A and B are shown apart, each in its own frame.
Chain A
Amino acid sequence: MNHLPLIIKREYITKVRNKSFIIMTFLSPLLFITLMSVVAYLTQLNDAKVRTISILDQSGLFQKSFQSSKALKYVYLKGKTDKEAKEIAKASKSYGLLYIKAFPNKLTKNVSVQFFSDESVSPGIISDFEDIIAQRLRYLNLKKIGIDTKDIKSATVDVTIKQENYLGVTSSKMEGYLKLIFGGAAGYLLFMFIIIYGNMIMRSVIEEKTSRIIEVIISSVKPIHLMLGKIIGTSLAGITQFAIWLILGSILMVVISLIFNIDLSASQTPQQMLVSQAIETQGLNMQIQDVLTAFLHLPIANLVIAFVLFFVCGYLLYSSIYAAIGAAVDNETDTQQFMLPVLIPLMLAVYIGFFTVIDNPHGTVSTIFSFIPFTSPVVMLMRIPFGVPVWQQMLSLALLILTFLGTVWFAAKIYRVGILMYGKKPSYKELLKWIKY
């Protein structure tokens, strides 16, 4: 008699029919999109305010260097002392006063420039000023040395490094960014999935204990079947939820950006910014073609297969631990002491992934952590877009599966004993003893 399909079906149906699950499923994308729209809108609102900057240029060298833009308006104050200029700037409610002192007319290395303002200034604006001044001075200095403007222009070179591996496959910077996005998304998705649905599994085990139905069920099915059924059923419900989120989210995104004409990409993640920078640095007409070729250069088949395998094994590994925790305690408040050892490797994996893999996908740290079973699913998923040798993937997966089997065995033992234990909160020592029961 195989009860697994029955159990999976029940777990799935009760999860999906649960009111809070339904509300979460349909409300989350709405909330998320609303939030993003609000942020995007506010960012636009913030940028829409024009700031006036007063400039007192006593050197007289920067009369045309500062060009007013949509967000910044420059007003030159002429023939004033710095004291007068300060008062004028204050009275005219300028955002600030840029004060460039006169300096001796020889090759300039250090320039004394000051900026006065009421509020603290965003560092972006300051570094923009610095760039403009430095550029102008460099140009002037070169001219003084005797280099013609034309020469400077003709000496300027545009460099794009073409990347190619030894087999002759070309790649581009764009590809690097795409890899980051794919790896990061896959790893982060797994992380989120484990946290959300692992907890759901745990709660459902605790519910069976507190409602005291467990002994009735367990007299008909093997505990391990019940545990696996629970994990699989809940995961399927999770996948359903994720799919709905994805579809609803994209539809809402399109609808909202159409209706309100808001540029949702205004609130960008750092990774998206990398991409848009990459797009900016290359020709605009190149960009679409580039993304496509970069995408095609990704090890797509490997990516998909590895994603499925590492995702499933990693998820099962963690969710069986969650199930065991649920079985070991009587109520949710007691779970805390057992949650920490689960969360630490998980957090570690995500941080290792985001810091070391991005920096150096094949460095020692990322390589080692892509083999350690509790971190490997996340870290390996992040590494794979950068091309990981098959033997490494196989070895990591083999280790993961071995650990997964061990953990499920261990979790099943705890589960089998724990679901019938009521009353006291067990210690780690007692959990170890349960294995022998």
Chain B
Amino acid sequence: MSKLLQVNQVTKTFGNHTALNKVSLDIEKGQIFGLLGPNGAGKTTLIRIINQITIPDSGTVLLDGEALQAHHIKNIGYLPEERGLYKSMKVGEQALYLAQLKGLSKTEAKKRLKIWFERLEIGNWWDKKIQELSKGMAQKIQFVVTVLHEPKLLIFDEPFSGFDPINANLIKDQILRLREDGATVIFSTHRMESVEELCDDIALIDKSNKLIDGNLLDIKRQFKTNTYQIGIVPNSTSLEAELKANFDVSPTQFKSINNELQLNVKLEVNQNPNDLLQYLITKGNVSHFVELIPSANDIFIQTVNNNNN
């Protein structure tokens, strides 16, 4: 796969404050890329640099191998976290205006808007005033104008905020569909469950530095501790003590209908989960045996906390 966006050693300071410190990222075509980080980490600055709203002090950004230029803005669709619409304009004319700013002709924009309005079930909103819309309704309009010009690169900053679960799902499906149609998506959010669900690669930024980046599954493999959560109805009461003697064991809890012994067992590098399982089978009825894989949430908290210490 080739790279759509390459960020090389980008640094940006505002007065004494460093917003980004030599941050490099590679985003491959056709991916959903999760840009994560706590508040104030520098994500928005990075996104603004990609959108040419802010100019970096040093470093380069390449889109499709070319250094960013003015004409690239029509290849990017950006849904900022702080988003609004002109209150005094009607939905239709506002969407047309924003689409024309991205270089679409009026007739083309109208045609596409009709399709998208149908798709998001807002076909009859054309003449509504923005003031009449609820927050979620306005978000739909903003989503449409972000994707309307069919950009190669889509940047969504907290796209689901303000949506009810049904509409959030509708938008999520549209994002996946856009990816299938060939778009690359940068997805910035604090909602880790949507990161798990959608993202292929992620990068974690904290205090203006990039801490980790790469394929989400690879990162999980790096962060996994070879720990297994087990549930067993033991044959003898001595099992717990026996396990503690042989393995690195810690208490755990999960929902179950059995009255069983629940433990986390951390294996050494030279220990094999199959051996553990075989050993357990001889000791009782194994009802639960799962490898503990760190969630994006765990990775986020662990990495940021380590960075703070």
Q: Which A residues lie at the B interface, using CB under 8 A? A: 1, 3, 6-7, 10, 14, 17-18, 207-208, 211-213, 215-222, 420, 422, 433, 436-437
Contacts and interface: CB of A to CB of B under 8 A. Distances in A.
Nearest to B89: A14
Contacts of A211: 84-87
B74 A216 contact: no
B88 A18 contact: yes
Given A3-B101, A211-B87, A216 B14 contact: no
Given A1-B103, A220-B101, A215 B15 contact: no
Q: Which of A14, A208, A219, A437 has the most chain B CB atoms inside 10 A of its CB?
A: A219
B228 interface: no
Contact of B80 (A10, A17, A215, A437): A215
Contact of A216 (B88, B89, B145): B145
Interface in B64-79: 70-71, 73-74, 76, 78-79
Contact of A215 (B70, B76, B83, B89): B83
B82 A212 contact: yes
B80 A216 contact: yes
Contacts of A207: 86-87
A422 B82 CA distance: 11
A100 B70 CA distance: 90
Contacts of A18: 88
Interface in B38-88: 48, 51-54, 70-71, 73-74, 76, 78-80, 82-88
Given A14-B86, A215-B82, A219-B78, 8 more contacts: A1-B74, A14-B89, A207-B86, A216-B79, A219-B53, A220-B73, A220-B101, A221-B101
Nearest to A209: B84
A219 B156 CA distance: 13
Contacts of B6: none
Interface of B: 14-15, 48, 51-54, 70-71, 73-74, 76, 78-80, 82-89, 97-98, 100-103, 142, 145
Which 3 pairs from chain A and chain B are nearest by CB?
A212-B84, A215-B80, A220-B101
A420 B88 contact: no
B80 A433 contact: no
A217 B53 contact: no
B170 to A, nearest CB: 21
B83 A6 contact: no
A216 B52 CA distance: 12
A420 B47 CA distance: 13
B220 to A, nearest CB: 33
Nearest to A212: B84
A18 B87 CA distance: 11
Contacts of A17: 88
A1 B71 contact: yes
A217 B73 CA distance: 11
A424 to B, nearest CB: 13
B128 to A, nearest CB: 16
B78 to A, nearest CB: 4
A222 B70 CA distance: 9
B86 A219 contact: no
B88 A14 contact: yes
A216 B73 CA distance: 12
B38 to A, nearest CB: 19
Given A14-B89, A18-B88, A437-B14, A219 B83 contact: no
A219 B51 contact: yes
A424 B14 CA distance: 16
A18 B88 CA distance: 8
B78 A216 contact: yes
Contacts of B84: 211-213, 216
A6 B101 contact: yes
A423 to B, nearest CB: 12
Q: Which of B15, B48, B53, B100 has the most chain A CB atoms inside 10 A of its CB?
A: B53
14 contacts: A1-B71, A1-B74, A1-B103, A3-B101, A10-B97, A14-B89, A213-B86, A215-B53, A215-B82, A216-B78, A219-B53, A219-B76, A420-B48, A422-B82
A420 B76 CA distance: 19
Contacts of A422: 82
A1 B71 CA distance: 7
Contacts of A217: 98, 101
Contacts of B101: 3, 6-7, 217, 220-221
A221 B98 CA distance: 10
Contacts of A222: 70
A218 B83 contact: no
Given A1-B103, A211-B85, A213-B85, A219 B71 contact: no
A20 to B, nearest CB: 11
Nearest to A17: B88
Contact of B100 (A6, A14, A213): A6
Contacts of A221: 101
A7 B70 CA distance: 17
A208 B85 CA distance: 8
A213 B71 CA distance: 21
Contacts of A212: 82-84
Nearest to A215: B80
A219 B153 CA distance: 13
A218 B53 contact: yes
Nearest to A226: B101
B272 to A, nearest CB: 53
Nearest to B48: A420
Given A216-B98, A219-B73, A420-B53, A433 B15 contact: yes
A433 B76 CA distance: 30
Contacts of B48: 420
A37 B207 CA distance: 69
Nearest to A10: B97
A276 B229 CA distance: 103
A7 B97 CA distance: 9
B51 A216 contact: no
Contacts of B142: 216
Nearest to B52: A219
A432 to B, nearest CB: 11
Contacts of B83: 212-213, 215-216
Contacts of B71: 1
A219 B97 contact: no
Nearest to A422: B82
A213 B145 CA distance: 12
A216 B149 CA distance: 14
Contact of B98 (A1, A220, A420, A433): A220
A431 to B, nearest CB: 12
Contacts of A433: 15
Nearest to B146: A216
A215 B83 CA distance: 7
B42 to A, nearest CB: 14
A221 B52 CA distance: 10
